[in-house]
């Protein structure tokens, strides 16, 4: 009989470590000390809902500093172009 593979909905702390490439201390901190929607508590154990974890990663990834700089540059360009239009 072949091995049945199941895509798990809940990840244990060790599986979160492997999935995210982080240590157990940081994984436990994420699962217990942060206000997130991916933590599932069953008794004294904590798990991560894999679908919600993926959404959280997608929402929180990216260079936010770079995004702010880009927005700042765009605003400055718009202000400059508005100034040029007003003087014409």
Residue 56 lies in a domain: yes
Q: What is the mean pLDDT of the chain?
A: 80
In terms of DSSP bridges, do strands 39-42 and 45-49 run parallel, antiparallel, or are they unpaired?
antiparallel
Q: What are 26-40's pLDDT values in tens digits?
A: 999 999 987 899 999
- Structural domain range at position 33: 10-87
Confirm if 13 and 49 have CB atoms less than 8 A apart: no
Residue 2 lies in a domain: no
Q: How far apart are CA 26 and CA 67, in angstroms?
A: 26
Number of domains in the chain: 1
Which CATH number fits the domain that encloses residue 82? Answer: 3.90.105.50
Residue 5 lies in a domain: no
pTM for the full model?
A: 0.63
Q: What are 49-75's pLDDT values in tens digits?
A: 999 999 999 988 886 655 555 665 656
Residue 71 lies in a domain: yes
């Amino acid at each position: 009989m072949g091995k049945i593979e199941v895509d798990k909905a809940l990840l244990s702390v060790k599986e979160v470590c492997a999935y995210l490439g982080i240590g157990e201390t940081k994984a436990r901190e994420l699962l217990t000390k942060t206000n997130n929607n991916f933590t599932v508590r069953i008794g004294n154990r904590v798990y991560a809902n894999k679908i919600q974890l993926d959404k959280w990663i997608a929402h929180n990834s990216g260079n936010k500093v770079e995004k702010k700089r880009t927005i700042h540059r765009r605003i400055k360009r718009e202000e400059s172009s508005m100034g040029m239009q007003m003087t014409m």
